[in-house]
Structure 1
Amino acid sequence: MLDKRLYHHLATWLGQWPAGRALHVVGSDRRTRPGWDGRVHPVVGVGAPGGAVLSVPPPRVEAVRALAALPVNDLLAKLPSAVGYDGWQAYRAVFRYTLTPTPLPEVGEWVSAEDAVVPLWLRPFGGQVLLARDSEGGYLAGVGIKRHDRYGRELSVGTDPAARGRGLARHLVAQAARRVLDEGFVPTYLHDVHNAASARVAEAAGFADRGWKAYGVFEE
């Protein structure tokens, strides 16, 4: 049975869930409004083994539905133009979630995203971010939270190159996931299908690969 938080997150974020067919294209006004980072995300999609929902701006539904019979790589190649964003790129990622994060020791502390120690890549997440620091207080690794809606929280992690190989990312992701769950949300984690390092972090933190995928369009 699908967790109700995940169900409500997907139904809210996409505009419909589940798909009910191999590919269901749905129009949502959310695709025309700023998202978690203040920017418009014109395509958001999630695919499970039973089918995929692709959420697009309402005026673009028919143009995208006309691509539904194409192989996925061809559909993704034509998707930016179909939603009116020529020159942008479509992507496919692994979509993961967890209800039981791995009970790894906590190695991070929550600080304001505006704190001077927070690196530039983490600042747009706002609120609090989770940091691992060295003995002098310097940044080693961190997790930011994409606050998509009142049900779902997507985690993003990054480690300073000099601090890689210590397992910091998996510990931070598991720690952040526990907090997200404690606050009543469902934690999700996306990564490129070819990013083996990120996949290892996700698995170690308790985010199993269930064969789900995520889709979107971004400006390079």
Structure 2
Amino acid sequence: MLDRRLFLHLATWLGQWPAGPGLHVVRSRRRARPAWDGRLRPAIAVASPECAILSVAPDRVTAVRALAHRRSAEELLPALPAAVGVGVPQFTTHAGLFRWSTAPAPLLDVGDWIPPTAPGLPPWLRLFDRSVLVVRDADGRYLAGAGIKRHDAYGHELAVGTVPAARGRGLARRLIAQAARRVLDEGAVPTYLHDFGNHASARAAEAAGFPDRGWTSYGVFPR
């Protein structure tokens, strides 16, 4: 049975969930409004083994439905930016696995929650407007971090990054599990997305308690 928080997240974030078999293009005003970082996400899709929902702005539904007719996700994705009315230089496409967890692995906490304005953090962590989870070395240098993308009240997506010199120590999996516990404490469900070919992210997610359930996601995102 689908977790109620995940159901509410998908219905809110996409504009509808679930649907019948196949791909369904649905309208959502959220696609025409700034997302968690103040930038647009003009097309977002989530696909389970039972159905797929592609969410676009209301004025783009007709064009995207025509484009999506009898096309696979792989065939649809390259043409999707133009169909939702955005330029390729400013936006890009992405496809990967969609994971979630209601029981993160009981790994030991490894990071500290600090303001995203703290010195020494990489630019991607500064996009967040609330505390980020950070691991530093004994000299205070940044090693790894995680941020929480609060899409809505029900679903919060985790983002994790590790500097090359600190990879292979298990920091990412511990950060994912630690951040996931905070999301659950806030009453939401933690989600985690990564490229199909990102095997390091896949291993970290699995170890943190985010299994591969055969769900995928794709869309149009700002560069």
Give the TM bin, normalised by the shorter chain. over 0.9
CA distance in 2, matches of 1:111, 1:171: 17
Deviations 1:101-151 (A, max 9, x none): 000011111111111132222010120000111112221100011110111
Deviates more, 1:19-28 or 1:49-58: 19-28
Cα deviation for residue 72 of structure 1 reads 2.1
Q: Is the 8 A contact 1:49 1:211 kept in 2?
A: yes
Deviates more, 1:58-67 or 1:48-57: 58-67
SS in 2 for 1:95: strand
User: What is aligned with 1:161?
Assistant: 164
User: What is aligned with 1:199?
Assistant: 202
Q: TM-score, normalised by structure 2?
A: 0.95
CA distance in 1, matches of 2:113, 2:222: 30
Q: Does structure 1 residue 136 correspond to structure 2 residue 139? A: yes
CA distance in 2, matches of 1:143, 1:166: 15
Q: Is the 8 A contact 1:31 1:41 kept in 2?
A: yes
User: What is aligned with 2:109?
Assistant: 106
Which 5+ residue runs of structure 2 have no aligned equivalent? Answer: none
User: What is aligned with 2:23?
Assistant: 23
CA distance in 2, matches of 1:60, 1:81: 10
Identity of aligned residues (%): 61
Q: TM-score, normalised by structure 1?
A: 0.96
AA aligned to 1:202 is A
User: What is aligned with 1:95?
Assistant: 98
Deviates more, 1:79-88 or 1:17-26: 79-88
Cα deviation for residue 89 of structure 1 reads 3.1
CA distance in 1, matches of 2:74, 2:165: 36
AA aligned to 2:50 is G
Q: Is the 8 A contact 2:104 2:181 kept in 1?
A: yes
CA distance in 2, matches of 1:134, 1:77: 41
Deviations 1:42-83 (A, max 9, x none): 001100000100000111111111123112211112211111
Which 5+ residue runs of structure 1 have no aligned equivalent? Answer: none
CA distance in 2, matches of 1:56, 1:79: 10
Query: Which residues in structure 2 correspond to 1:42-81 (within 5 Å)?
Result: 42-66=42-66, 67-81=68-82
AA aligned to 1:74 is E
